Amino acid sequence: MTLLRLGSTTHGFDQGQRYINCTIQSRSGNTMTVIPPATGGVAPPGWYLMSAVNGSGVPSPSKYMKVGPP
């Protein structure tokens, strides 16, 4: 499972962009439990694209999700 922070480019540079790999804790049918990043320094609050990535590195269609403050 990956999170990709949506960009906010200014002057050709995006210092807020993030690509975060999350650990899948469990799966059951169409449901996954994912361990979130440990701190807001890794995944600051905001909008992200969430995708599952298979063993060959091919991502699923992404869904928007909002990460809130702890």
Q: What is the pLDDT of residues 8-17, one digit of tens each?
A: 777 777 777 8
Question: What is the reported pLDDT for 18?
Answer: 87
66 burial type by CB count under 10 A (0-12 exposed, 13-18 middle, 19+ buried): exposed
Q: DSSP code of 39? A: S
Whole-number Å distance between alpha carbons of 38 and 41: 8
| Closest C-alpha to 42, from 13, 67, 9 | 67
Look up the pTM and report it.
0.75
List, in order of start, the domains of the chain with CATH numbers: 2-67 (2.60.40.10)
Q: What is the pLDDT of residues 31-57, one digit of tens each?
A: 889 998 888 888 888 899 999 988 898
CB 61 within 8 Å of CB 54: no
CA gyration radius, the chain: 13
Q: How confident is the model at residue 70 (pLDDT cuts 50, 70, 90)?
A: low
